[in-house]
Amino acid sequence: MRMLDLIAKKRDNKELSKNEIEFIIKSYTNEEVPDYQMSAFLMSVYFNGMTDQESTDLALAMMHSGDVFDLSLIDGIKVDKHSTGGVGDKVTLVLGPLVASCGAKFAKMSGRGLGHTGGTLDKLESIPGYNIVLDEQSFIKQVNEIGVAVIGQSKNITPADKKMYALRDVTGTVRSIPLIASSIMSKKLASGADAICLDVKVGNGAFMSDIEEAKKLAELMVNIGKLAGRKVKAILTNMDEPLGFSVGNSLEVIEAIETLKGNGPKDLETVVLEVGSYLIEDAGIATKDAAMTLLKEKLDNGEAFNKLIELVSAQGGDISFIKDVSKFKKASRIIPLIADKEGFIESMTTIDIGLAAAYLGAGRETVDGQIDPAVGIVFKKKIGDRVMVGDVILEIHANDKGIEDAFNTLKEAIHIGSKKNDVTLIEGVIV
Ligand code: URA
């Protein structure tokens, strides 16, 4: 087989076989295929697309390019979730302990934030002592014992995806639905869960701003998962404003703790319950409706919160911070953004809210940049809320970095007008 012929085949819009796709991925991972040939291949996929079978074969070939987690030593059905990335998205922090408190096995490998989106690992590391590095044995033992573990990726997972993503980034081939779907699903499949719920964000703070595109991506990921023998469902959730009221690492942990005590923001709780009820159903614990009731019960009776304490304790974190959130280090300054006219919050440019948080130090500009856990933004008003002149719309929690840039960006990102808009949070479900 020659890479040249396979590029030409895809250029001519013909379907590649499983063998051919495996050859491409193996040869590229082993450095037998150079970047310029892979770039040409990716561009032909970008223009001609792939069938669902090709996308599945691509995801599986990428999954097998590196280590694959074997979670068979964990009793029962292992569940996982994935978000395509948003602003203020702290769903994992609430969902993991919550579904574990219902008896599910939540075995999760999370990532760090980059660009305008935050990362679960950065949020967890704002809890002093929380260790994101567990070897495979300890990870399995912890999930067996307490039902939940959230760690970083320690193994060499999907090296083909790492190389391809870096290449796509510089060749204009990121925005291809088969390439995005196979990239995400290769990592999810390698992480070993039996049942996965995908939270595909759609809106001006998400990777996909168009609902039809987001739907196509969700459908393809669900199909790939099913063809690979896993239970996969997807929900499409709105990202035209941040999720919850807080953006920033320890601020989001505090909001997640409040949610686990049953006092969280409605939108965050809704997404958590929707994803959670699918996972509980797929874990065989209850029907979707009964799962909803069970999850709410665990939020109200303190068991979900207690499970967070168990999780943090098992991973070396200081649980006194979870019990008393006033212990989290605060930013040195709180600067309000005040409404200068009367009306409703009509819309927000959510991507810029994520960027403003990053300017303050809540996110990083380069992969190894430093995070300031205390900084971020706390909203007092969201879309549809009425504001009067002088009302506080949000508070900027800042230390010494990026205050002016963040303030100016946020001022432009919040739009006050005469329309009282509603946000439809759950925009679709693919099962
Ligand atoms: N996230 C991924 O993991 N891969 C993509 O291709 C796009 C977003």
Shared domain for 166 and 126, answered yes or no, is yes
CATH number (domain holding residue 10): 1.20.970.10
- Whether 71 is covered by a domain: the verdict is no
Shared domain for 152 and 230, answered yes or no, is yes
* Catalytic residue (one of 168, 201, 230, 364): 168
Per-residue pLDDT at 309? 98
Quick check: 169 pLDDT over 90? no
Shared domain for 234 and 363, answered yes or no, is no
Per-residue pLDDT at 305? 98
Shared domain for 301 and 354, answered yes or no, is no
Domain boundary among 270, 293, 323: 323
Domain boundary among 297, 323, 349: 323
Report the C-alpha gap between 373 and 380 in whole angstroms. Answer: 20
DSSP string of 68-80, one letter each residue: ----TTS-S-EEE
Q: What is the pLDDT of residues 190-245, one digit of tens each?
A: 999 999 999 999 999 998 999 999 999 999 999 999 999 999 999 999 999 999 99
CATH number (domain holding residue 359): 3.90.1170.30
Quick check: 114 pLDDT over 70? no
Shared domain for 283 and 141, answered yes or no, is yes
Shared domain for 40 and 155, answered yes or no, is no
Shared domain for 132 and 266, answered yes or no, is yes
Per-residue pLDDT at 103? 98
Residue partners of 341: CB distance under 8 A and separation at least 6: 389, 416
168 catalytic, yes or no?
A: yes
What is the pTM for the complete model shown? 0.95
Shared domain for 336 and 367, answered yes or no, is yes
277 catalytic, yes or no?
A: no
Place of tokens 């329309």: 419
CA of 207 from ligand 1 middle (Å) equals 9
- Whether 286 is covered by a domain: the verdict is yes
- CB 339, CB 86: distance < 8 Å: no
- Whether 428 is covered by a domain: the verdict is no
- CB 202, CB 216: distance < 8 Å: no
- Write out the residue range of the structural domain in which residue 410 sits: 330-417
- Within a 10 A sphere around the Cβ of 107, how many other Cβ atoms? 27
Quick check: 28 pLDDT over 80? yes
Atom of ligand 1 minimally distant from the CA of 184: 3
CATH number (domain holding residue 109): 3.40.1030.10
**125 SS3 class:** coil
**Confidence grade of residue 148 (pLDDT, cut at 50, 70, 90):** very high
Pocket test for ligand 1, best of 45, 50, 112, 184 (most atoms within 8 A of CB): 184
* Catalytic residue (one of 82, 215, 307, 381): 82
- Whether 72 is covered by a domain: the verdict is no
**Confidence grade of residue 385 (pLDDT, cut at 50, 70, 90):** very high
Q: Please count the structural domains in the chain.
A: 3
Shared domain for 41 and 152, answered yes or no, is no
- Whether 56 is covered by a domain: the verdict is no
| 244 dihedral zone (left: phi>0; alpha: psi -120 to 50; beta) | left
- Whether 424 is covered by a domain: the verdict is no
Domain boundary among 11, 32, 49: 49
Per-residue pLDDT at 412? 98
Measured in degrees and rounded to the nearest 5, phi and psi for residue 53 equal -65, -45
Start-to-end CA span in the chain (Å): 38
- Sequence letter at residue 215: K
Average pLDDT over residues 145-159: 92
Quick check: 365 pLDDT over 80? no
- Whether 164 is covered by a domain: the verdict is yes
Shared domain for 83 and 184, answered yes or no, is yes
- Whether 148 is covered by a domain: the verdict is yes
Shared domain for 38 and 109, answered yes or no, is no
The binding-site residues of ligand 1, defined as CB within 6 angstroms of any ligand atom, are 165, 179-180, 183-184, 207
Q: Can you tell me the ipTM of this complex?
A: 0.96
Shared domain for 230 and 313, answered yes or no, is yes
Report the C-alpha gap between 419 and 203 in whole angstroms. Answer: 19
Q: What is the pLDDT of residues 46-88, one digit of tens each?
A: 999 999 999 999 999 999 999 999 999 999 999 999 999 899 9
